[in-house]
Amino acid sequence: MVRLRLPEDRITASQLAISLISTIVGVEAFIMPRSVVESAGRDGWLSILIGGVLAILVVLGLCYLGTSYPGESPVTYFAKILGKVLGNFTISVFLVFYLCLCGWVLRIFGDMVKVYLLTKTPIEVIIFSMLLTAAYLVNHGVNPLVRAIQVFFPLLIIPVAVVILMVQGLVDYRQLLPVMSGGLLPVLKGSINGYVVFSGFGVIAFLLPSMANPREGFKAASLGMGLVVGIYLIIFILTIAHFGPVETGFAIYPVIDLVREVRAPGAFLERLDLFLLFFWILTVFISVAVLFYVVVLGFSQLLGLKEQRPLVYLVLPLIYLVAMRPRDFDSTELLGLWMGYGSMALASVVLLMILIVWAKKLPGGAKNAK
């Protein structure tokens, strides 16, 4: 079996929380207002709130499964809950999903960098460079990874806070009124997209076994996911309050368009969008690295490898192929849609597994399970 952790590989509750935040708040933040407003209109903030609550419940469910089998990887306890064959198949589907999610994140990243920063650089070079850099970090295991996240985390929060303050003069919160003018149905439809933007939350299942005290995972997960929901709500509300629901629905990257209209006092910084994109690249790097690490760790454990490093360079070209698969922006959008469906399907599997574990804990349940 693959080593699950060494003492130096253990992470704290705060490290788990910021890892969760840094993984989820990535490229989705820049396209999320458009995808949600297309379904729910100006009431999309309610959809994000509903989707966020559902995502938090699934994350807490993953924490419950992890603490029910302390110190064990999902690769191990999936097989115990579902049986070896079905469990290994299910965890393989999870890992393939996160491989594809990593590729999709890279593709959105590559498209945005090419449009706003490196217009003459081939997208293949942009994507491969980011992937190769992430591979270097993945090679060194979970502890260097979470330490890098700790270093970069303030570089995510501070620019977001600065932008939130600076756009206040550009927004009109009356754009959010009237509330639920179209009824409840559009809000519920939009909650699907509102849930999809949190798709990276499943990585907690693979990080939890590395915690010094796994039971602290519940608190860390709740805090981390709560902050993510708050960040997405603020981003959506500010975007709608400036552009309105119609214009937001036509913008490809509405958040970037919003930031481009901000002018710093004294004009000491002419292009605030470039300033934000620089720090956003660090965030995407962490998101890609965590997803990459989870895929490599999971498959190395599934295959019973003693060393996971060779697998890094086998997984790398697969992620690259997924990232380069979409032919255009519409194809990239379609891939993102399938990622959303996959995330909802995996959440259903998590719910089923929780019910099975509960049944086994009932009086006579373990005997009946046998």
**What is the residue range of 256's domain?**
7-369
pLDDT attached to residue 5: 41
Residue 186 within a domain: yes
Residue 336 within a domain: yes
Q: pLDDT (tens digit, 9 = 90+) per residue, 100-131?
A: 999 999 999 999 999 888 899 999 999 999 99
Spatial CA neighbour of 73 closest among 247, 301, 292, 327: 301
Q: Which residues of 209-243 are buried (b: 16+ CB within 10 A; e: fewer)?
A: bbbeebebbbebbebbbebbbebbbebbbbbbbbb
Query: Which residues are within 8 A (CB) of 218 and not within 5 positions of it... i.e. 6 or more apart?
Result: 60, 63, 67
pLDDT attached to residue 340: 85
Give whole-number Cα distances, 192 to 228, 229, 282, 344, in Å: 17, 14, 28, 9
The stretch 30-38 carries a mean pLDDT of 91
Inform me whether the pLDDT recorded for 368 exceeds 70. Answer: no
- We report the CATH number of the domain holding residue 143 as 1.20.1740.10
Residue 31 within a domain: yes
| Mean pLDDT estimate for the chain | 88
Inform me whether the pLDDT recorded for 64 exceeds 80. Answer: yes
Model confidence, pTM: 0.91
Count up the domains in the chain and report the number. 1
Read off the DSSP letter of residue 180.
T
Please state, in angstroms and rounded to a whole number, the distance separating the CA atoms of residues 295 and 259. 34
The stretch 72-95 carries a mean pLDDT of 95
Q: Is 261 helix (H, G, I), strand (E, B) or coil?
A: coil
pLDDT attached to residue 7: 40
Residue 268 within a domain: yes
Residue 200 within a domain: yes
Q: pLDDT (tens digit, 9 = 90+) per residue, 163-220?
A: 788 888 889 999 999 999 889 999 998 888 889 889 889 999 999 998 888 889 999 9
Residue 1 within a domain: no
pLDDT attached to residue 264: 62
Residue 2 within a domain: no
Inform me whether the pLDDT recorded for 310 exceeds 60. Answer: yes
Inform me whether the pLDDT recorded for 4 exceeds 50. Answer: no
